[in-house]
Amino acid sequence: MKNNEIDRLKDNYGNWVYNDRDKCRVARDYFFDLFETSTNTVHNMEIYCIPKCVNEEMNKNLTKSFTNEEILKAFNQMHPRKAPGINGLPSIFFKENWEVV
């Protein structure tokens, strides 16, 4: 057996599968079922019994809009040429063009 290799998996019926194709199928099916959106992930769980950790004032503070100052502060803390955003632009673009943006 190679290092870091899964030699077998158990399928939904309790059967062990050993070949790569079947292991892929079992893994795919497992994660498909796990992340399927049509099912409720909170199975038979009584939500109301979980104590609240965030009060109304904290929630108001957490859900308020960001200020321009907070956004600028966050951009200034970012490395100028790393991790471009979803628009493909690095933070240096926004730093250098802040007045326009």
pLDDT tens for 45-65 read 566 677 788 999 999 999 999
Q: Which residue has the higher pLDDT, 44 or 36?
A: 36
In a domain, 87, yes or no: yes
Q: Which two tokens stand for residue 31?
A: 């994660």
Q: How far apart are CA 1 and CA 7, in angstroms?
A: 7
Q: How far apart (Å, rounded) are the C-alpha atoms in residues 101 and 88? A: 15
Give the integer Cα–Cα distance in Å for 87 and 101: 14
**Domain housing 91:** 61-101
90: its two tokens: 């690095």
Residues 36 and 4 in one domain: yes
Number of domains in the chain: 2
- Split at pLDDT 50, 70, 90, the class of 41 is low
pLDDT digits (tens, 9 = 90+) for 64-93: 999 988 987 887 888 877 767 677 788 788
The answer as to whether 86 is a domain residue is yes
Report pLDDT for 60.
93
pLDDT of residue 1: 53
Q: Taking the chain, what is the end-to-end CA distance rounded to the nearest angstrom?
A: 56
